[in-house]
Amino acid sequence: MRSIYQVFLFDLLAKMLLVVSATGTIRYMAEGEFAIYTLALSLVGFFSQTLAGSFNILYIVGDRGMPPEQSPSSFLGFQVLTVLLLGILALPVILAGNWIFGLVIALVLAGTLSDFSKTFYQKELKFIRYSAIELARTATFVGAFVLLVASIGYGLKAWHLLLVQAVTMAAVFLAVFHSKIRVAEFLNFGEALEFACKVWKGKHRYLLGYFSVLALFSQTDVFLLRALSSDKELAAYGSALRYYSFLLLALGAVHAVLLPTMSKKSDVEELSVIIGQYRRALLLIIPVIIFGAWASQWIIPWVDQGKYPSAVLLFRILSVSAVVSFVFSPYVSLILRFEEYRFLFNVILFGLFLNATMNYTLIVRYGAMGAATSNLVSYGIVNGMLYRRASHLLHESRRSTSGNT
């Protein structure tokens, strides 16, 4: 639990810095530009989680049942190759005039590099270095953002922020991780393709499939809001999502620590102890979320100066969803520990169908409120299914252990 608190405190400091950029973005960006920026970040989130996110999880859990472990440089080269291939596929869209998509790809590439440097230390359980990278890239971005707003003011555009984020992420990556990259291994794309083929033939393809579908699942509300509703509804929802992301900083700390820790534990009682410690930590986390939801009636209007009046209720609905995610969060790591990848894949496929159906039905009638409600219900059902399976696996493992003794 000390590692969770440590990562949480570093993330808290980083997110406190991000309050500056979040407030400035909402205040100084026009409604239409903020809608574009919200959609762009959702695209970045989708591609990053599909590619870098799933591969990084594979890097962490790859000690069991995987092909021989690759070096960090070749594994990173494998990820960069996939992003470059994505960029090539996107060229017709970019050349057709949708140049903002080019910045989305650039930010995905920069995020891939930066996130792997964090994952490298996460796997080694070196959480101080893991957190320091997050803090460094946040501080660099916020500093650049302040200079940008001081120069442009209310002329802030979506492409300004996308470009600044990509440049600062890449700069921090080069500063903290360049010495660990072996160029020959990084450029060995033949080995990367061979590794991809081995993964695809094994059970880990379901793990990649799970994170790919999860990436779409987590962005379905924004994509369908863009397609079915107005820029005003999308901007208001995007505003609520920015506040919601601050609530989830502790959840990110939990996942950062639990996954590599559980993957190294073989004893069922040790796993039970970790979950018990986390449950006690919830007594601190959940009251903070409740307080934030209550205080949002004053904080949000102060931040956006009344621009998005529906953001308070949207944030409160998302806060309930955050509580659900916190309560059930250890059980995803537990299922990963037991390598139930196919089960995860099937559950998230069902969740995507449910989420898309609810969003389509409710957004048409209720706009952003429908999206927030769909988020709450679909995440609740999916997390409930994962909890039930994880509890069963833990019980069976405990019974099997006692039977052998």
Long-range contacts formed by 83-91: CB under 8 A, 24+ apart: 83/47, 83/51, 83/52, 83/108, 83/109, 83/112, 84/109, 86/47, 86/51
Residue with the bigger pLDDT between 2 and 86: it is 86
pLDDT at 294: 92
Write out pLDDT tens, residues 39-75.
Answer: 888 888 888 877 776 777 777 765 544 444 557 777 7
- State mean pLDDT over 265-284: 69
pLDDT band of 202, cuts 50, 70, 90:
low
Q: Are 156 and 28 in contact (CB under 8 A)?
A: yes
Higher pLDDT, 287 or 281: 287
For residues 215 and 197, state if they share a domain.
no
Q: What is the pLDDT of residue 196?
A: 66
Strand stretches in 19-118, DSSP E: none
Same domain, 318 and 386: yes
Pick the more confident residue, 83 or 257: 83
Residue ending a domain, choose from 185, 202, 219: 202
Paired residues of 29 in beta bridges: 156
Six-digit token string for 382: 């999916």
Same domain, 232 and 184: no
Last residue of a domain, one of 187, 202, 217: 202
On whether both 172 and 260 belong to a single domain, the answer is no
Q: Are residues 136 and 220 in the same domain?
A: no
Q: Let me know: does 127 contact 260? Beta carbons within 8 Å.
A: no
Domain count, the chain: 2
Select the highest-mean-pLDDT range: 5-19, 39-53, 353-367: 353-367
Residues 299 and 168 in one domain: no
User: Does pLDDT of 368 surpass 90?
Assistant: yes
Per-residue tokens: 34: 């903020």
- Asked if residue 157 has pLDDT above 80, the reply is yes
Q: Are residues 87 and 215 in the same domain?
A: no
Say if residue 223 is in the same domain as residue 188. no
Q: What per-residue confidence (pLDDT) applies to 205?
A: 80
Same domain, 372 and 395: yes
Residues 175, 266: one domain?
no
What is the full DSSP assignment across 23-51? HHHHHHB-HHHHHHHHHHHHHHHHHHIII
Confidence at 352, pLDDT banded by 50, 70, 90: very high
Of 181, 202, 223, the domain-final residue:
202
Structural domain span for residue 388: 209-405
3-state helix, strand, coil in the chain (%, to 5): 90, 0, 10
Residues 163, 287 share a domain: no
Are 160 and 275 contained in the same domain? no
Q: For residue 41, what are its two tokens?
A: 């970040």
pTM (whole model) above 0.95: no
